[in-house]
Amino acid sequence: MKVSQIDDLFSLKKPVVTIGIFDGVHLGHQFILDQLKALAKKHRGESVVVTLWPHPRIVLNKELHNFKLLHTRQEKIREMERQGIDHLIFVPFNREIASLTACDFVQQYLVEKLGVEVLLVGYDNKFGKDRKGDPEGLRMCAEKNRFRIEKLPEFNAEHGSVSSTRIREAILKGDLVSAGLMLGYHYYLSGVIVEGNHIGRKIGFPTANIHPHDPNKLIPMNGVYAVRIQMRGETHNGMLNIGFRPTIDSAMAVKTIEAHMFGVSGDFYDEEIVIHFVKRIRDEMKFSGLDALKQQLQIDRITVQGLL
């Protein structure tokens, strides 16, 4: 897959294009991408995904209460590559682009820059200032600019409706199982390991303190989770705590993300790490002291090992 910016120079072969935010690249998005690839194959062309970055809601400061991203830019690239798309093209979103009508956007970017031959549009998709970026609203634009419109059928998921909004809601409630079913994979978090206070090491549960790469990344609800951890090309089972460490640092108001990897020891500061959330197993709790905390962690380890 080739990753580009919209202002790059392109020489695309019969581009079959779709446009969207694709935050999370969930099952609904994967359905669109499968249709896109099939359509590109039918027309002997290339599959092209045009996506906006940063997220329009962040740029426009629209309904930002509790709004965070399912994917960082690099995570979106990773998931699109897994889907087997030929081209992923980023459009740097700003207020000027937000002021364009659907047809103006299509003409300026998809026609003039990419030479679109077929545009795949969702059955309920509406983009552009005029909200006419749907199959019916773009008919005249397509005739004028000599490209075809293909309309997607509705996606019916086995587990009910799927949307980035519903996935965010599930993650904020700690329901990582439901989130995973809608995503088609375990929700994950990318970051780097930073130095902590070494308390976990003293009680036999050394932890890696994780600093997420993007401050806009959605962090799951506080609590203890069963996780799988990718580091240095290997995957490890483990458990992870998100919260304020009330037993150790009751006066601290800084949320931490701490992972304990089973059977792994050593210092891994500045290492890149990816946390895959499997299931939330309990709330964060305050214990009478480190001994009580250690006893609970031993119980947690047994629970998590059983799950994984």
Any idea how long the chain is?
308
Of the two residues 279 and 62, the one the predictor is more confident about is 279
Q: How confident is the model at residue 267 (pLDDT cuts 50, 70, 90)?
A: confident
Model confidence over 94-136: pLDDT tens digits?
Answer: 999 999 999 999 999 999 999 999 999 987 777 777 766 677 7
In whole numbers, what is the pLDDT of the chain averaged over residues?
Answer: 91
Q: What is the mean pLDDT of residues 132-152?
A: 87
Q: Give all domains of the chain, ordered by start, each with its CATH number.
A: 2-151 (3.40.50.620), 186-307 (2.40.30.30)
| Of 76-80, 262-266, 294-298, highest mean pLDDT | 76-80
Q: Are 37 and 7 in contact (CB under 8 A)?
A: no
Q: How confident is the model at residue 248 (pLDDT cuts 50, 70, 90)?
A: low
- Looking at residue 253, its pLDDT comes to 56
Q: Are 210 and 194 in contact (CB under 8 A)?
A: yes
Q: Considering only CA atoms, which of 79, 63, 40, 73 is closest in space to residue 184?
A: 79
CA atoms of 246 and 252, how far apart (whole Å): 8
